[in-house]
């Protein structure tokens, strides 16, 4: 009997991954696709100063809509919301290919991001619905491999398309993939996952969240987006801060908020989310500032890419190892503190190497240690959050986790960017010291993070 149940669960897991794999790939690919094409697009539209916003506008909309999709999927079901996200993503890609000015292209990138936020958040929610927390670690390596391959393929594909074809093909090639993802997800996910439940809508919270995001986006990019309002930038930032305060108060008192902040009152959830946010800040920081440091030492972009590949492969290896062990043991420990230890040691070693020159075997040792630590933390903390969340708030809770992780990574990189701008000629020591600080905080939190036995039952399997 147990073998029959196990076989049934295995078939459901395979269906789920078949249904969300292409959606995850599109979401991860889109994050890095335009990075090598920014300079070329800036030349085409004769606006190099605005061109970087083509990437940040997508990331902004994607991050902002993650909690919205989580809350809506708890009310209306995962599959309809995932279909809507794929539809918006595909429509945004089509609109991008049809534009003929940079302002319009920025607007269509926001539309694409409105769909992109659902691709990641809802895919993870469907996985958490159908696969028990103890078993999800077995598949985490596949998810991380998909992310890693898509993240590496994004810049390569973007550079290839912009060099050999018209720039519109950066967006046109995604149309058949988006339609295919819609068809596959509809067919494979039929009957699986949360179907929705009646609850008090939080329309005010959604509006406040969007207004707050727009306010911060405009106030931090006033000179580029609204030059006439540049003298009033402090006032715009004050308005954004006030909206943020109103949002926090409203969310705390609403019975079914779009951002279920009261879940973070539980120590395990709060520490797991904070660890994910800090580890994401280290991951993005190394991906951005390690190539800069290596190129300052005279290494070519090809050499830099090969060195970064060790880091990316180490993250993937860490997810494989920790996922298998957690599924076997039924507990997340020792990977929270082990991940913090590896990450702290790796960042400390890289910081120590900055003054001596980032080269030799110690460089690879630091990158591999940091990558393994991040891989351990991603799996252990994600599974811990999934296991601790109530089934009725699984979508919004996981969306909150991904939102905080993305926001933490963004804020962490903003701090590193400020340090970089303050000391353009000797920036590496303070930047890597901050990365070391992130790693050591992860080490401390990993040691004190509580643990809980993982459940063997799916939260919302349906069917």
Sign of CA dihedral 430, 435, 441, 447: negative
DSSP 454: P
- Could you tell me if 221 and 309 lie in one domain? no
- Could you tell me if 239 and 162 lie in one domain? no
The pLDDT value given to residue 1: 40
Q: What angle do CA 181, 385, 77 make, to 5 degrees?
A: 40
The pLDDT value given to residue 342: 92
- Could you tell me if 341 and 434 lie in one domain? yes
Among the three residues 162, 186, 202, which one is the final residue of a domain in this structure? 202
The pLDDT value given to residue 2: 56
Q: Which residue in the block uniquely carries the two structure tokens 């082990």?
A: 338
Task: Please indicate, yes or no, if residue 460 is contained in any of the structural domains.
Answer: no
- Could you tell me if 232 and 117 lie in one domain? no
Q: What is the pLDDT along the chain (463 residues), one digit of tens a residue?
A: 455 656 666 677 777 777 788 888 888 888 777 776 777 777 787 777 677 777 778 888 888 888 888 888 888 888 888 889 999 999 999 998 888 888 888 889 889 988 988 888 888 888 877 777 777 767 766 776 777 677 667 777 777 787 788 888 888 888 998 899 888 888 877 766 566 667 677 788 888 888 888 888 777 767 666 777 777 778 888 988 899 899 888 888 888 888 888 888 888 889 999 999 998 888 878 877 777 777 777 776 667 777 877 888 888 888 888 888 887 888 888 888 899 899 989 888 888 877 665 566 788 888 899 999 998 998 888 888 888 887 777 777 888 888 888 888 777 777 777 777 666 567 777 888 888 888 889 889 988 888 887 776 665 555 5
Tokens of 389: 């969340």
Tokens of 333: 């420990």
- Could you tell me if 241 and 325 lie in one domain? no
The pLDDT value given to residue 89: 93
CA separation for the pair 282, 284 (Å, rounded): 6
The residue segments making up the domain with residue 214 are: 204-253
Residue 169: is it exposed, middle or buried by C-beta count within 10 angstroms (0-12/13-18/19+)? middle
- Could you tell me if 324 and 216 lie in one domain? no
DSSP codes, 286-299: HHHHHHHHHHHTT-
Report pTM: 0.80
- Could you tell me if 230 and 310 lie in one domain? no
Number of domains the chain is built from: 3
- Could you tell me if 191 and 222 lie in one domain? no
- Could you tell me if 20 and 86 lie in one domain? yes
- Could you tell me if 285 and 396 lie in one domain? yes
Contact 413, 378 (CB under 8 A): no
Identify the CATH number of the domain in which residue 134 sits. 1.20.1250.20
User: Alpha helices, DSSP H only, in 297-393?
Assistant: 301-329, 335-354, 361-388
- Could you tell me if 105 and 83 lie in one domain? yes
Task: Please indicate, yes or no, if residue 459 is contained in any of the structural domains.
Answer: no
Task: Please indicate, yes or no, if residue 213 is contained in any of the structural domains.
Answer: yes
- Could you tell me if 102 and 244 lie in one domain? no
Task: Please indicate, yes or no, if residue 56 is contained in any of the structural domains.
Answer: yes
Contact 87, 115 (CB under 8 A): yes
Task: Please indicate, yes or no, if residue 458 is contained in any of the structural domains.
Answer: no
């Amino acid at each position: 009997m147990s073998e029959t149940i196990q076989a049934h669960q295995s078939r459901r897991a395979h269906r789920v991954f078949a249904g969300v794999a292409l959606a995850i790939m599109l979401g991860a690919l889109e994050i890095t696709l335009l990075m090598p094409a920014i300079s070329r697009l800036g030349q085409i539209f004769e606006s190099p100063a605005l061109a970087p916003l083509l990437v940040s506008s997508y990331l902004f909309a994607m991050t902002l809509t993650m909690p919205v999709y989580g809350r809506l999927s708890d009310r209306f079901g995962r599959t309809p919301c995932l279909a809507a996200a794929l539809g918006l993503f595909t429509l945004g890609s089509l609109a991008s290919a049809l534009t003929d000015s940079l302002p319009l292209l920025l607007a269509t990138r926001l539309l694409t991001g409105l769909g992109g936020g659902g691709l990641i958040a809802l895919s993870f929610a469907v996985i958490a619905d159908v696969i028990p927390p103890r078993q999800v670690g077995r598949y985490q390596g596949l998810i991380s491999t998909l992310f890693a391959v898509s993240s590496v393929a994004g810049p390569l594909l973007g550079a290839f398309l912009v060099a050999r074809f018209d720039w519109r093909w950066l967006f046109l090639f995604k149309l058949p993939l988006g339609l295919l993802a819609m068809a596959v997800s509809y067919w494979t996910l039929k009957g699986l996952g949360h179907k929705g439940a009646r609850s008090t809508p939080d329309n005010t919270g959604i509006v406040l969240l969007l207004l707050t995001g727009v306010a911060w986006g405009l106030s931090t990019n006033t000179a580029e987006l609204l030059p006439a309002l540049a003298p009033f930038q402090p006032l715009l930032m004050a308005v954004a801060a006030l909206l943020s305060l109103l949002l926090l108060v409203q969310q705390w008192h609403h019975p079914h908020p779009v951002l279920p902040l009261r879940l973070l009152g539980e120590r395990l959830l709060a520490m797991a989310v904070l660890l994910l946010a800090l580890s994401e800040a280290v991951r993005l920081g190394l991906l951005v500032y390690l190539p800069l440091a290596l190129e300052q030492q005279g290494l070519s972009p090809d050499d830099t890419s090969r060195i970064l590949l060790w880091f990316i492969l180490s993250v993937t290896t860490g997810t494989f190892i920790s996922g298998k062990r957690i599924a076997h043991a039924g507990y997340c420990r020792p990977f929270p503190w082990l991940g913090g230890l590896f990450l702290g040691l790796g960042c400390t070693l890289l910081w120590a190497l900055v003054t001596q020159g980032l080269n030799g075997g110690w460089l690879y040792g630091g990158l591999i240690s940091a990558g393994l630590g991040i891989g351990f933390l991603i799996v252990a903390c994600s599974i811990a959050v999934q296991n601790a969340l109530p089934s009725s708030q699984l979508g919004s809770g996981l969306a909150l986790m991904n939102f905080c992780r993305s926001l933490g990574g963004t804020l962490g990189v903003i701090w590193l960017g400020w340090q970089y701008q303050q000391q353009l000629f000797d920036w590496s020591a303070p930047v890597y010291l901050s990365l070391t600080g992130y790693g050591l905080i992860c080490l401390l939190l990993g040691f004190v993070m509580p643990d809980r036995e993982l459940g063997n039952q799916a939260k919302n399997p349906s069917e």
